[in-house]
């Protein structure tokens, strides 16, 4: 029997703070939604609450459908322009995803979700949420893996050098004039060739 220090416990991946408190936050949100609906129902009547919930569901459904259709049309236009060899049109407005999220929040039964959905309809709020989400995503990419950040930077630099993304079709011609595969003929009688460097 040996005595000594206990080995350190194997540590698994750490859960983020937001993921740990997410179930508690959802439960608190549901309780608050039910409490607010009962307050409104007590003051304005049950019929007003039902009308409010149905109106929010109808408006939210129409908004989500419209934003989804616009996003699909935009995607189809981008694909058509790319196939035609034209650069995609930059649209500064964007925000179709946030409009769809706003519609989904309006469809959920509850006053808090309706208020957040209505706030997302305002362009300044959407741009603020977008900037915050982009910063958060950049921080997570940097923290996830340093190599992953290099891949993103290389992809962005390649996109800046070749914005159209076209592939040039070509054929390798051997020195004797016949077409051939470059991988089979990379080494000649003088030995293997060094790799090309930029």
Low-confidence ranges of the chain (pLDDT < 70): 1-16, 88-94, 144-172, 177-198
User: Could you read off the pLDDT of 6-52 as tens digits, one per residue?
Assistant: 555 555 555 667 777 888 888 898 999 999 989 988 888 888 888 98
pLDDT at 71: 84
pLDDT at 18: 72
Contact 142, 149 (CB under 8 A): yes
For the chain, give the secondary structure using H, E and C: CCCCCCCCCCCCCCCCHHHHHHHHHHHHHHHHHHHHHHHHHHHHCHHHHHHHHHHHHHHHHHHHHHHHHHHHHHHHHHHHHHHCCCCCCCCCCCCHHHHHHHHHHHHCCCHHHHHHHHHCCCHHHHHHHHHHHHHHHHHHHHHHCHHHHHHHHHHHHHHHHCCCCCCCCCCCECCCCCECCCCCCCEECCEECCCCCC
pTM: 0.56
Contact 100, 70 (CB under 8 A): no
- Of 163, 166, 187, 56, the closest CA to residue 118 belongs to 56
Task: Specify the long-range contacts of residues 67-70, CB closer than 8 Å, at least 24 apart.
Answer: 67/96, 67/97, 67/99, 67/100, 67/102, 67/103, 68/96, 68/100, 70/96, 70/99
């Amino acid at each position: 029997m040996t005595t000594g220090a206990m080995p350190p416990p194997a540590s698994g991946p750490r859960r983020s703070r937001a993921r740990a408190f997410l179930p508690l936050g959802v439960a608190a949100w549901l309780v608050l939604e039910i409490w607010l609906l009962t307050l409104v129902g007590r003051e304005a009547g049950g019929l007003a609450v039902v009308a409010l919930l149905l109106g929010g569901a109808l408006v939210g459904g129409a908004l989500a459908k419209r934003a989804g259709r616009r996003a699909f049309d935009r995607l189809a236009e981008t694909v058509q322009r790319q196939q035609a060899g034209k650069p995609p049109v930059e649209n500064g407005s964007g925000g179709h995803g946030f409009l769809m999220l706003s519609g989904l929040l309006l469809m959920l039964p509850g006053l808090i979700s309706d208020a957040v959905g209505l706030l997302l309809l305002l362009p300044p709020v959407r741009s603020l949420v977008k900037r915050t989400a982009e910063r958060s995503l950049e921080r997570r990419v940097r923290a996830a893996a340093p190599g992953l950040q290099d891949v993103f930077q290389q992809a962005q630099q390649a996109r800046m050098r070749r914005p159209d993304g076209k592939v040039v079709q070509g054929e390798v011609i051997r020195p004797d004039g016949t077409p051939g595969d470059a991988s089979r003929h990379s080494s000649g009688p003088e030995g293997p060739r060094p790799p090309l460097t930029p």
